Amino acid sequence: QFHTAMSAEELNLDEEVTSVSLTLVSKDNQSFTVESKNAIIAKLIKSGLELDSSSSSFDLQVNGSVLSKIVEYMNHHQGTEADIVEKPLRHKDMEKVCKDPFDAKFIDQVDQGSRQDLYDIILAANYMDIPALLHLGCAKVASLIKGQPLEKIKDILAQGTTTTSEKQPE
């Protein structure tokens, strides 16, 4: 009987560990709740939990608008690493290069907001160490410049930087 009771306790403990809610706090003090099992695709969070399993809140150097998108991405993938977009990029249409249709729609919607949003997602994915999201963002940038003339590529890459308005005389 004791062994059976222990197994039940261990099972309950395992369930608690996999369903702990974490609070991710953006640098502009917006809070987002995400299940730990979903959040561990961010190696920054995973290593934080490995160092201190009692952690329930993480202060991140990411804007709230960007962090909300990352939480959406985490919740969709539910702790499973997404497939990395194949290189070289074979098509400009993200639906044709992403194995998961969600990823294509997600990154296209991010880019529709503004080019700066796309670059911010890339920077945040790098900071939080989410390789699949980082590659997805970079693949989107590659899809934007694929087949474009040099001047158009310069404009695309310059969008979202502080020097965009300071055009150099030619």
Q: What local confidence, expressed as pLDDT, does residue 120 receive? A: 95
Low-confidence residues in the chain, pLDDT < 50: 1-18, 162-170
pTM for this prediction: 0.79
Q: What local confidence, expressed as pLDDT, does residue 4 receive? A: 33
| Spatial CA neighbour of 79 closest among 110, 123, 124, 35 | 35
Contacts for 141 with CB less than 8 Å, ≥ 6 apart: 118, 122, 156, 157
The tens digit of pLDDT for each residue in 88-122 reads 888 889 999 899 999 999 999 998 878 899 999 99
